[in-house]
Amino acid sequence: MKMLINVAETVVADALRGMAAAHPELTVDVERRVIVRRGAPYEGKVGLVSGGGSGHEPLHGGFVGRGMLDAACPGEVFTSPVPDQMVRAAAAVDSGAGVLFVVKNYTGDVLNFDMAAELAEDEGVQVAKVLVNDDVAVVDSLYTAGRRGTGATLFVEKLAGAAADAGAPLDRVAAVARRVNESSRSFGVALSAVTTPAKGTPTFDLPAGELELGIGIHGEPGRERRAMMTSGEIADVVVDAVVEDLRPDGPVIVLVNGMGATPLLELYGFNAEVHRALTERKVPVARTLVGNYVTSLDMAGCSVTICQVDEELLGLWDAPVSTPALRWGC
């Protein structure tokens, strides 16, 4: 498999050096693997910290900036960051108002963020944690006890980040984050397998002419494999899965997310089918975001995340944001 890298061992460090060169509004510590919003900590503001294995870009580092995260901790590819990274990040963004850890539900992430919270609190930092577990496809997957954390991570970081930027206290920011997670559901589909730099070959076998429904963002097994389907047929399966689980009774924000190798031409066509399927199921759409945001390296495929919103949450979504990967209202 051809990759635009030097060697597999330095792929994360090389990416961080490139991010630092492209985004002077961020402070990127390549050696210690911490990305911080320049100017942090901001007086009186709750700090937001997240992180996870690399390979899902722009999640999480691409969401550091005004209106979202104050810091992100990238691990090695598909590997949790270590507690020391999270403690450094918390110390870098703590203004005295406390720090919220946004944690995707993967065993390594959960254990390491739990340990980091204890260590940070020993150093005088007040920490709250929110677990993201929005994936309805399977329970107790390869790296997870319970449901996996996927696309709703973007919604949690955006809406909780807006609340923090507006001056909300730590308990309120954490409450917003939990509410967003509880109001969100996701489902993913793989059209091809993912290839990690270290392995250099696909991590699982997906025969030509087949797709996998319910795939995880590390290539974890989904619900089932089927013969290749049309965009409209896939949309019906995915929308049924998230709507049946969430049962929304109001408007939703929709994320149509690419897994990394699916072009926008296909994603926008798929978005049309998702909107058609939601309309047929009488689910009103308030806002839509389309693009590659929570990815799995070079996997072809997509995921859909819906989040039920009211006026308060919609206002937080519309609030200004300025990060490398998400920007409006600034």
The model carries a pTM of 0.97
| CA–CA separation, 290 and 219 (whole Å) | 21
CB 301 within 8 A of CB 256: no
- Rounded average pLDDT per 10-residue block, the chain, 330 residues: 94 98 98 98 98 98 98 98 98 98 97 98 98 92 83 99 98 98 98 95 92 94 95 98 98 98 98 98 98 97 98 98 97
Q: What is the pLDDT of residues 167-179, one digit of tens each?
A: 999 999 999 999 9
Output the six-digit token pair for 188.
């993913």
Q: What is the pLDDT of residues 123-162, one digit of tens each?
A: 999 999 999 999 999 887 666 789 999 999 999 999 999 9
Domains of the chain, first to last: 12-182 (3.40.50.10440), 184-308 (3.30.1180.20)
Q: What is the pLDDT of residues 195-231, one digit of tens each?
A: 999 999 998 999 999 999 999 999 988 999 999 999 9
| CA–CA separation, 255 and 257 (whole Å) | 6
CA quadruple 86, 185, 197, 323: dihedral sign: negative
Pick the catalytic residue: 23, 56, 60, 275? 56
Q: Output phi, psi for 7, to 5 deg.
A: -135, 155
Helical H segments across 184-282, by residue range: 231-246, 264-280
Question: Does the active-site annotation cover 60?
Answer: no
Determine the pLDDT at residue 78. 96
